Amino acid sequence: MEQKKFRAAVIGCGGISQVHIAALQGMKNVEIAAVCDIREDRLAKAVEKTGAKGYADWHDVVALPDIDVAHICLPHYLHAPVTIEALRLGRNVITEKPMATTVEDARAMIAASEQPGAGSLGVIFQNRYISSVQHAKKIIESGELGAFLGVSASVCWRREGAYYTESGWRGAKATEGAGSLINQSIHTLDLLSYLGGPIAKVRGSVFTGLNEGTIEVEDNAMAVALYEGGQRAVIHTSNNNVADDPVEINIHLEKGALKLFGPKLYAVENGELKLIDAGDNKTVVGKSVWGSGHSAQLEDYYTCLAEKRHFWLDGRSAFPALSLVLNIVRSSEEGKWIELDRA
């Protein structure tokens, strides 16, 4: 017997929706039934591309009784209200990162996902699905290189001008939540706790550099964090670079070191880099810095739905990265160490 197809709604038809749509169109057990955007031009394009019905108001979409999964591809400040309403109505939700712009909203999303009858909540952190990241996690957890001692991470990209001024939401605290930390480096901050374990506290400093006058959020940040076990993480992020450099995560272990450089994983031996995992090399839709993990994560999400299993990258799993982002900013404002919030 042929399995029933899941009916998906893509809410928000800007940049990242292209990646969701391409991934969904490659999946046999999903059909895109609805697309939604307040911008007529984007909605019309999405309707043409998918053949789905178009909606201007997200309330109408999440209320459709035959929608199984809502993909939230909206500006940051809308993730929480749309997710909470969709979950309340029993829809499953996969939302783009960051899950929310405040700790309170993130907690409300988790609470909504844990109500009886609520749908499943998944949060996109596609880089966890890259083979080199999985490989690094395996090496750390196997103990073959001894205990985990700490990491340094760097995300130096370039974002300016129209990226902010034409979006209508990026660069403003109320709609983006923060700047380079919440939008660009949150993927890397997520990997710090995914690979190294829970982070206890952070001391950070943020400022607006070359985008001063254009945006009110930070485009540069520096932080030191301590894991619950006392290990350290040094974090540097900037949106003021000449270009988008590969993300770098240096992982220090008792008997050696690993380096994630872009999608590649190296062992560091006597100062030399030895390639141990080239990372996924699939064709990607969208910018290469977004990586190629969306399809893998979305396939995993739908497999869990089909098999009625809990999806692991849920609100609780995504929460620590948001807490780290918001508390680096808070630490900078208050000039002191901040204990991370718990979900």
Q: Which residues bind ligand NAD (CB under 6 A)?
A: 12-17, 36-39, 42, 58, 73-76, 78, 96-97, 124, 126, 167, 183, 290
Chain position whose Cβ is nearest to ligand NAD: 14
> From the CB of 9, what's the least distance to ligand NAD, in Å?
11
- Taking the least distance from each CB to ligand NAD, the nearer of 13 and 118 is 13
C-alpha separations of 124 from 19, 259, 294, 309, 343 in Å: 12, 23, 8, 17, 17
> From the CB of 337, what's the least distance to ligand NAD, in Å?
28
- Taking the least distance from each CB to ligand NAD, the nearer of 68 and 176 is 176
> From the CB of 124, what's the least distance to ligand NAD, in Å?
5
- Taking the least distance from each CB to ligand NAD, the nearer of 142 and 283 is 283
> From the CB of 15, what's the least distance to ligand NAD, in Å?
4
Q: Which residue has the tokens 């969904």?
A: 24
Nearest Cα residue to 248 out of 331, 219, 238 = 238
Interatomic CA distance for residues 322 and 178, integer angstroms? 10
- Taking the least distance from each CB to ligand NAD, the nearer of 16 and 189 is 16
* Run of H or E residues at 34: strand 30-36
- Taking the least distance from each CB to ligand NAD, the nearer of 8 and 338 is 8
Round to the nearest angstrom and report the end-to-end CA distance of the chain. Answer: 42
Instruction: Put the strands of the sheet holding 248-253 in their side by side order.
Output: 272-277, 264-269, 256-261, 248-253, 148-156, 232-238, 220-227, 199-207, 338-339
> From the CB of 254, what's the least distance to ligand NAD, in Å?
33
DSSP state of 246: P
